[in-house]
């Protein structure tokens, strides 16, 4: 076996040099035609370069079915190649069959079974892992038997929850339990956890309860793994066993003094179900240190709602406020109640907050005084302003209402700044200044009530001012990035992003601040893509996968079974990360824009793997799309008590659902945890860089990209299958949903390609003239709209440039370049269809070719007319105008005492960045 | 309204409200996974039910977490606070204290049964020092250059910005309270001298 030749084969594939790869494998095969290894290399080539999955799979299968080949296949290098081919050709299910075949000859080959286990783990292949571990426990003896049996039993559970086969779903947990019986007595909580999970999977809930109850009876509370305790409560709840819930929570809360909200909720639930009138008495008799705890005070409010006792609600809310009205959590704690129709909001705001607390604070006189203030007072004031908004939302979102509210917030901010912050500057070294939230509230209200580019710029100035004294406030930075993105000031976004030291998994959740529509808004190689984006995308490098698998394996060796299920889920979500595939799709668009002069080969190799993409985009279960971790929630509508006993914030279904669908791990919520919060979230639609892209968006984008690689033959093979997927998504997704994800010009692009491809299909199958005419007319209309829209990018239409202008401009140019190139490729590929003698040539000429030239001319005209220059001049004039009014006349900036020079400086920075944008647009 | 629940791998996608804080370290994934796989019960989070006014649903945010471990031999067998951090929106409610007390509760008896709990804190992190002192921790020694990058440090190079205090609290098992001392601030060691293998 020629090791160097083999590595040069893989090297050639990696560096996108298929010719060399092909020559290498041919030479090897010539030397040794019967070598299984070389034959598999050929299959691998078929898979990777020809994308001929079927043939690659069929040929490798032939090699496996011949027992004479088993010896060669037992070599791990050969075996891995074979398995990789199976995996990548979408036959991961066959992985176990190969091992089973090989084991028939050597049933006790422990190293082969170990390899099977590790291969399955590495590929997150749960069904295969289950089978491997079952074999492993059979061949291990003595010391290791116990451990191997536990792993195998656990994997029966894992394979059950990841299974759609009803028979296996019933059978597996039973087999798992049987296996556990052989290792009884179980020693640790982790071992008992497996049993409990298997019992639940077998629908033997009572037995599961019994197992945990026994543990609770025999061990001290703090010595039991909390996971089991929480499962216990959940199961008791499921089986309506309220007496037991009552007894147990009573014990934990009062005897063990474990002051935990989950337990309070269950305690209250049980009491309400049992009609236990003692609840209030118990609450009133609590020891005083517990009585003022946040959990207890909130439980008290819940009592009021549960017993529908208005007086109690008022009393308990007032009590809560007394202790926690000066803590930041008061607003998020109480908003649920304040928004409840049964709640007397007027009483809360007018009587309690304004009446009692405003009066107590002596606010009116105090705000104009210079007295030292405390963090409690400052927090109280911020909370009051938040609640005040809730009382009068429609008015405060009107023109005059919002102005008054904003002015009031500024007045309070100044008070907090002058009387608290200046005396506590040290605080900012280690903590946050809650007063900043008043300005976040202003931003949210102003932009919701009165969105304009001017107000966006004003808010940029204000937030930069906040950062001048609170340089570490991450909420402010997140908002600032949103504002910069709206204005297309990507390099400022990048600087802010870097200042947050975002790294590791945060890249996956936050990189969208940088990557969203980057190819069509800021495709700058030097200052942006190379120096920021590509650095971030290294996070997705495959190399860390091996380390993570090592620790996943450790979960088995250390018997940390309670963590394995979510570990798998994490790995799958990361592998199918929306952000990862989105960013790489954007890079592909940059390649398209630069007509291939820019190459991201290194990134493509490991992350934008063609076969992965095809799977992700064509597998049926993803066509429907699936929302992953963001906004997962417990659907307890209108319920006062909320339970989260399993402790998973991400409440997702089984991990395999993510195997070949995107997992959207992006975080769009953190910045909304401040200020007025989620009520105003519709602001995102105005502020974000185009509509929020979703599943269909990315699939269509990727499929379009794949379909551009070579003309579609519409022969039911190769990329015509991809076209079917493309068509299916487009046809099956409602217009409304598409409009929610695409900008107008993006829609036009997708429609143009779709109609063009349909046209080629019709021409190839000699469809009726009417059909072809319809398609030609559709293409014509799309072109006309594109040209019309592009024509609007002039100084007459555009004022201050924002992302939208750049996006429309760049997308149209890219569309022209790539469509033109693609059209030529089709012309070459199907000379017959695009020949002057073809009966449809006239139609093609007027509807496609002429329009394409028209678009080209339109782009050319825009260059000749110096349109960008004119826009840039107008942009500058507008900014200058804004600068001079803001420096001298702006109410908000004046009231905040923001120095004119500061504002001037911000404008200077912004203007300089705009110059970069225009240089970039000129280069496109 | 806090509940303590186990930390799970998928929580890593939802940590921004806690981890965007500048004083909170964002570790490489492997670090979190090592803790999940080796000390599954000592890595837990606090969560707060929240109400989504937009969707009218109950949700949960992570308000803080504790990454803990156990290590050492014989009398050095102890629990270590690797990271404790609290979402700024939920600070000053006693959450950090709760997370620390919970670690003591979990490790002071079976199956861990440690002699003491320890942690490192930047000499300048006054706020955290107060927190730990309130919880009964005291300085055991000053680790010179713990957060620095000097390859050849000397105990003379005292620097508040790069030095850490090694703080300890003795547990019940350490009946003679041998794991703590009164004059810890005066005892200086170098990072490599802290070794529990
Ligand atoms: C340090 C930190 C964990 C404290 O969290 P917390 O939940 O607010 O702490 P607690 O509410 O339990 O505070 C306990 C005591 O610490 C002190 N303390 C905490 N935060 C304080 C602050 N901002 N200012 C003054 N004292 C403070 C107080 O004495 C407090 O008791 P009190 O509220 O009754 O006065 C939190 O600020 C944080 O996450 N910081 C960033 C990460 C970090 O530094 N971790 C520690 C590294 S070892």
Rounded to the nearest angstrom, the distance between the alpha carbon of A750 and the centre of ligand 1 is 53
- Distance in angstroms (rounded) separating the CA atoms of residues A236 and A209: 7
Residue A810 has pLDDT above 70, yes or no: yes
What pLDDT does residue B89 have? 93
B194: distance to nearest CA of chain A, Å?
25
Tens-digit pLDDT profile for residues B95-133: 999 999 999 999 998 889 999 999 999 998 888 999 999
CB contact under 8 A, A679 and B54: yes
Binding site membership of B33 for ligand 1 (Cβ less than 6 Å): no
Beta strands B188-189 and B164-170, pairing class: unpaired
User: What residues of B are in contact with residue A575 (Cβ under 8 Å)?
Assistant: none
CB contact under 8 A, A570 and B22: no
- Which residue, judged by its Cα, is nearest atom 10 of ligand 1? B94
Tens-digit pLDDT profile for residues A492-505: 999 999 999 999 99
Q: Which pLDDT band holds residue A612 (cuts at 50, 70, 90)?
A: low
- Are A754 and A748 in contact by the 8 Å Cβ rule? The answer is no
What pLDDT does residue A639 have? 61
Q: B83-98 burial string, b = 16+ CB within 10 Å, else e?
A: bbbbbbbbbbbbbbeb
CA dihedral over A654, A659, A662, A667, signed as positive or negative? positive
Residue ranges per structural domain of chain A: 1-107
ipTM field: 0.94
CB contact under 8 A, A506 and B19: yes
Q: In sequence order, what are the beta bridge partners of B142?
A: B165, B188
- Distance in angstroms (rounded) separating the CA atoms of residues A287 and A879: 63
Testing the interface with A: which of B29, B94, B96, B161 to mutate, by most A Cβ within 10 A?
B29
Residue A736 has pLDDT above 80, yes or no: yes
Binding site membership of B89 for ligand 1 (Cβ less than 6 Å): no
Average pLDDT along chain B: 92
A332 vs A279, which has greater pLDDT? A332
CB contact under 8 A, A504 and B41: no
Rounded to an integer, the average pLDDT of A753-774 is 95
Tens-digit pLDDT profile for residues B40-55: 999 999 999 877 666 6
Residue A647 has pLDDT above 70, yes or no: no
Rounded to an integer, the average pLDDT of A648-671 is 62
- Which residue, judged by its Cα, is nearest atom 22 of ligand 1? B127
CB contact under 8 A, A569 and B29: no
Q: Which helix (H) or strand (E) holds A410?
A: helix A399-419
- Distance in angstroms (rounded) separating the CA atoms of residues A622 and A661: 5
What pLDDT does residue A843 have? 85
Beta strands B43-52 and B57-71, pairing class: antiparallel
What pLDDT does residue A816 have? 97
- Which residue, judged by its Cα, is nearest atom 45 of ligand 1? B85
* Nearest beta carbon to residue B9 from set A299, A333, A570: A570
What pLDDT does residue A563 have? 96
- Are B184 and B140 in contact by the 8 Å Cβ rule? The answer is yes
Phi, psi of B172 (to 5 degrees): -50, -40
Task: Say what percent of chain A tops pLDDT 70.
Answer: 93
What pLDDT does residue A554 have? 96
- Distance in angstroms (rounded) separating the CA atoms of residues B11 and B44: 10
What pLDDT does residue A610 have? 53
A376 vs A362, which has greater pLDDT? A376
- Distance in angstroms (rounded) separating the CA atoms of residues A466 and A672: 18
A74 vs B87, which has greater pLDDT? B87
- Distance in angstroms (rounded) separating the CA atoms of residues A427 and A470: 10
Q: A238-242, A627-631, A644-648, A835-839: which range is least confident on average?
A: A627-631
Q: A97-106, A611-620, A758-767: which range is least confident on average?
A: A611-620
User: What residues of B are in contact with residue A502 (Cβ under 8 Å)?
Assistant: 20, 26
Q: Which helix (H) or strand (E) holds B59?
A: strand B57-71
Rounded to an integer, the average pLDDT of A585-590 is 90
What pLDDT does residue A640 have? 62
Residue ranges per structural domain of chain B: 3-193
Q: Give CA A437 to chain center in angstroms.
A: 26
In Å, what is the CA distance from A819 to each residue of A292, A726, A764? Answer: 68, 17, 20
A222 vs A683, which has greater pLDDT? A683
Mutate to test the pocket of ligand 1, among B19, B104, B131, B134 (most ligand atoms within 8 A of CB): B131
Residue A313 has pLDDT above 90, yes or no: yes
Give the list of residues 6+ apart from residue A693 with CB closer than 8 angstroms, or none: A516, A582, A741
> Whole-angstrom distance between the N-terminal and C-terminal Cα of chain A?
50
Q: Does domain B3-193 have CATH number 3.40.630.30?
A: yes
What pLDDT does residue A54 have? 83
Binding site membership of B22 for ligand 1 (Cβ less than 6 Å): no
A51 vs A841, which has greater pLDDT? A841
Burial class (CB in 10 A: 0-12, 13-18, 19+), A607: buried
CB contact under 8 A, B3 and A644: yes
- Are A383 and A325 in contact by the 8 Å Cβ rule? The answer is yes
What pLDDT does residue A621 have? 34
Give the list of residues 6+ apart from residue A483 with CB closer than 8 angstroms, or none: A456, A459, A460, A463, A687
Give the list of residues 6+ apart from residue A669 with CB closer than 8 angstroms, or none: A630, A631, A678
CB contact under 8 A, A504 and B28: yes
DSSP per position, A429-485: GTS--TTHHHHHHHHHHHHHHS--HHHHHHHHHHHHHHHHH-TT-HHHHHHHHHHHH
Tens-digit pLDDT profile for residues A170-207: 999 999 999 999 999 998 999 999 999 999 999 999 99
* Residues recorded for chain B: 197
The packing angle between helices A474-486 and A490-499, to 10°, is 170
Which residues in chain A (55-94) have CB-CB distances under 8 A to chain B? none
- Are A123 and A88 in contact by the 8 Å Cβ rule? The answer is no
Q: Which two structure tokens, joined as six digits, stand for A859?
A: 């782009």
Give the list of residues 6+ apart from residue A661 with CB closer than 8 angstroms, or none: A576, A616, A619, A621, A622, A625, A626, A695
- Which residue, judged by its Cα, is nearest atom 17 of ligand 1? B131
A475 vs A355, which has greater pLDDT? A475
Which residue stretches of A576-658 are H helix? 578-593, 601-607, 610-618, 620-623
Binding site membership of B136 for ligand 1 (Cβ less than 6 Å): no
Nearest CA-CA partner of B44 in A262, A363, A334:
A262
- Distance in angstroms (rounded) separating the CA atoms of residues A477 and A782: 40
Q: Which two structure tokens, joined as six digits, stand for A261?
A: 């909200």
- Distance in angstroms (rounded) separating the CA atoms of residues B96 and B85: 7
Reduce the DSSP state of residue B104 to 3 states and report it.
Answer: helix
Q: Which pLDDT band holds residue A648 (cuts at 50, 70, 90)?
A: very low
Residue A4 has pLDDT above 70, yes or no: yes
In Å, what is the CA distance from A369 to each residue of A438, B141, B189? Answer: 19, 47, 51
What pLDDT does residue A70 have? 85
Average pLDDT along chain A: 88
Q: Which two structure tokens, joined as six digits, stand for B189?
A: 């060691």
CB contact under 8 A, B56 and A638: yes
Reduce the DSSP state of residue B167 to 3 states and report it.
Answer: strand
Give the list of residues 6+ apart from residue A298 with CB closer than 8 angstroms, or none: A261, A264, A320, A333, B1
Q: Which pLDDT band holds residue A655 (cuts at 50, 70, 90)?
A: very low
In Å, what is the CA distance from A297 to each residue of A324, A826, B23, B63? Answer: 9, 71, 31, 18
Burial class (CB in 10 A: 0-12, 13-18, 19+), A658: buried
Rounded to the nearest angstrom, the distance between the alpha carbon of B127 and the centre of ligand 1 is 6
Specify the ligand 1 atom closest to the Cα of B121.
48
- Distance in angstroms (rounded) separating the CA atoms of residues A676 and A445: 8
Q: Whose structure tokens read 């089973």?
A: A100
Q: A545-555 burial string, b = 16+ CB within 10 Å, else e?
A: beebbbbbebb
Residue B196 has pLDDT above 90, yes or no: no
What pLDDT does residue A654 have? 34
Nearest CA-CA partner of A460 in A913, A906, A914:
A906
Nearest CA-CA partner of B194 in B132, B115, B137, B140:
B140
> Whole-angstrom distance between the N-terminal and C-terminal Cα of chain B?
40
Q: A47-61, A700-714, A900-914: which range is least confident on average?
A: A47-61
* Nearest beta carbon to residue A262 from set B3, B14, B20: B3
Rounded to the nearest angstrom, the distance between the alpha carbon of A645 and the centre of ligand 1 is 27
Q: Which two structure tokens, joined as six digits, stand for A63?
A: 């090699």
Whether pTM > 0.80 for this model: the answer is yes
Reduce the DSSP state of residue A866 to 3 states and report it.
Answer: coil
Q: Which two structure tokens, joined as six digits, stand for A175?
A: 């087999």
Q: Which pLDDT band holds residue A543 (cuts at 50, 70, 90)?
A: low
Q: Which two structure tokens, joined as six digits, stand for A312?
A: 């109690």
């Amino acid at each position: 076996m020629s090791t160097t030749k083999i590595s040069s084969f893989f090297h050639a594939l990696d560096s996108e040099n298929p010719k060399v790869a092909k020559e290498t494998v041919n030479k090897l095969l010539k030397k040794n035609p019967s070598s299984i290894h070389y034959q598999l290399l050929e299959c691998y080539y078929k898979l990777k370069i020809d994308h001929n999955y079927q043939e690659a799979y069929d040929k490798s299968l032939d090699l496996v079915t011949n027992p004479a080949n088993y010896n060669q296949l037992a070599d791990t290098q050969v075996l891995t190649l074979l398995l990789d081919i199976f995996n990548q050709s979408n036959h991961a299910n066959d992985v176990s069959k190969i091992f089973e075949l090989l084991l028939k000859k050597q049933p006790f080959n422990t190293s082969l079974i170990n390899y099977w286990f590790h291969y399955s783990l590495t590929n997150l292949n749960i069904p295969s892992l289950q089978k491997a571990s079952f074999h492993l426990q059979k061949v291990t003896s003595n010391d290791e038997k116990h451990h191997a049996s536990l792993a195998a039993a656990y994997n029966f559970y894992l394979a059950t929850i990841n299974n759609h086969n009803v028979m296996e779903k019933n059978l597996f947990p039973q087999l798992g339990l049987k296996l556990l019986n052989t290792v009884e007595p179980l020693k640790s909580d982790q071992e008992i956890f497996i049993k409990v999970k298997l019992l639940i999977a077998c629908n033997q809930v009572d037995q599961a309860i019994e197992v945990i109850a026994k543990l609770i009876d025999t061990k001290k509370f703090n010595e039991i793994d909390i996971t089991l305790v929480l499962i216990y409560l959940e199961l008791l709840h499921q089986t309506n066993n309220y007496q037991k819930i009552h007894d147990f929570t009573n014990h934990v809360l009062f005897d063990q003094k474990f002051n935990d909200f989950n337990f309070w909720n269950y305690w209250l639930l049980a009491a309400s179900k049992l009609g236990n009138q003692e609840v209030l008495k118990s609450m009133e008799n609590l020891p005083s240190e517990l009585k003022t705890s946040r959990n207890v005070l909130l439980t008290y409010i819940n009592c009021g709602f549960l017993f529908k006792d208005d007086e109690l609600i008022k009393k308990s809310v007032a009590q809560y406020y007394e202790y926690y009205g000066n803590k930041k959590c008061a607003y998020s704690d109480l908003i649920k109640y304040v928004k409840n129709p049964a709640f007397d909001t007027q009483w809360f705001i007018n009587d309690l907050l304004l009446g009692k607390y405003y009066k107590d604070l002596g606010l009116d006189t105090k705000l104009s005084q210079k007295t030292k203030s405390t963090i409690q007072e400052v927090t109280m004031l911020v909370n009051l302003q938040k609640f005040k908004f809730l009382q009068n939302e429609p008015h405060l979102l009107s023109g005059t209402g919002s102005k008054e509210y904003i002015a009031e917030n500024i007045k309070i901010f100044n008070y907090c700044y002058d009387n608290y912050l200046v005396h506590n500057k040290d605080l900012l070294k280690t903590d946050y200044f809650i007063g900043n939230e008043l300005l976040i509230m202003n931003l949210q209200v102003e932009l919701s009530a009165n969105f304009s580019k001017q107000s966006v710029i004003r808010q940029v100035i204000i937030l930069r001012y906040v950062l001048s004294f609170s340089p570490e406030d991450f909420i402010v930075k997140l908002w600032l990035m949103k504002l910069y993105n709206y204005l297309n000031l990507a390099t400022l976004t990048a600087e802010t992003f870097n200042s947050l030291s975002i790294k590791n998994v945060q890249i996956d959740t936050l990189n969208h601040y940088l990557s969203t529509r980057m190819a069509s808004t800021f495709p700058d190689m030097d200052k942006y893509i190379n120096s920021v984006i590509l650095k971030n995308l290294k996070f997705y490098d495959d190399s860390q996968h091996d380390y993570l698998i090592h620790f996943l394996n450790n979960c088995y060796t250390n018997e940390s079974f309670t963590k394995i299920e979510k570990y798998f889920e994490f790995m799958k979500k990361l592998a199918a990360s929306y952000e990862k595939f989105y960013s790489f799709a954007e890079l592909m668009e940059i390649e398209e824009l630069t007509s291939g002069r820019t190459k991201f080969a290194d990134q493509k190799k490991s992350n934008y793997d063609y076969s992965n993409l095809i799977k992700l985009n064509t597998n049926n279960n993803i066509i429907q799309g699936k929302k992953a971790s963001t906004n997962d929630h417990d659907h307890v509508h209108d319920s006062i008590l909320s339970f989260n006993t399993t402790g998973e914030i991400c409440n997702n279904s089984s991990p395999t659902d993510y195997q070949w669908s995107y997992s959207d791990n992006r975080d769009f919520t953190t910045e909304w945890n401040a200020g007025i919060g989620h009520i105003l979230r519709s602001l995102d639609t105005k502020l974000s860089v185009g509509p929020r892209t979703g599943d269909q968006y990315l699939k269509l984008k990727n499929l379009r990209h794949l379909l551009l690689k070579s003309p579609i033959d519409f022969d039911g093979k190769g990329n015509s299958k991809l076209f079917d997927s493309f068509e299916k998504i487009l046809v099956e997704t409602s217009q409304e949903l598409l409009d929610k994800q695409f900008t107008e010009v993006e829609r036009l692009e997708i429609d143009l390609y779709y109609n063009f491809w349909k046209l080629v299909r019709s021409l190839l199958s000699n469809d009726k003239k009417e059909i072809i005419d319809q398609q030609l007319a559709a293409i014509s209309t799309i072109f006309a709209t594109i040209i019309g829209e592009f024509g609007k990018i002039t100084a007459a239409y555009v004022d201050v440039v924002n992302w939208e202008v750049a996006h429309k401009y760049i997308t149209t140019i890219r569309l022209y370049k790539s469509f033109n190139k693609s059209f030529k490729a089709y012309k070459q590929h199907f000379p017959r269809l695009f020949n002057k003698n073809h009966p449809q040539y006239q139609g093609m000429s007027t509807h496609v070719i002429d329009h394409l030239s028209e678009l080209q001319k339109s782009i050319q005209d825009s260059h000749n007319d110096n349109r960008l220059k004119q826009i840039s001049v107008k942009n500058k004039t507008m900014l200058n105008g804004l600068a001079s009014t803001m420096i001298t006349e702006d109410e908000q900036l004046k009231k905040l005492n923001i120095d004119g020079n500061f504002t001037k400086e911000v404008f200077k920075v912004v203007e300089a960045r705009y110059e970069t944008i225009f240089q970039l647009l000129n280069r496109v | 309204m806090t509940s303590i629940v186990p930390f799970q791998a998928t929580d890593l996608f939802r940590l921004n409200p806690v981890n965007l804080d500048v004083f909170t370290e964002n570790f490489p994934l492997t670090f979190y996974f090592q803790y999940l796989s080796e000390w599954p019960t000592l890595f837990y989070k606090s969560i707060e039910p929240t109400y989504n006014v937009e969707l009218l649903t109950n949700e949960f945010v992570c308000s803080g977490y504790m990454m803990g471990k156990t290590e050492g031999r014989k009398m050095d067998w102890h629990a270590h606070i690797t990271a404790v951090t609290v979402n700024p929106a939920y600070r000053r409610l006693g959450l950090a204290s709760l997370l620390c007390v919970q670690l003591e509760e979990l490790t002071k008896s079976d199956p861990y049964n440690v002699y003491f709990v320890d942690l490192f804190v930047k000499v300048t992190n006054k706020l955290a020092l107060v927190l730990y002192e309130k919880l009964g921790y005291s300085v055991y020694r000053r680790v010179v250059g713990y957060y620095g990058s000097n390859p050849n440090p000397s105990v003379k190079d005292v620097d508040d910005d790069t030095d850490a205090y090694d703080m300890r609290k003795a547990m019940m098992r350490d009946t003679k309270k041998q794991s703590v001392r009164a004059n810890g601030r005066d005892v200086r060691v170098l990072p490599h001298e802290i070794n529990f293998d």
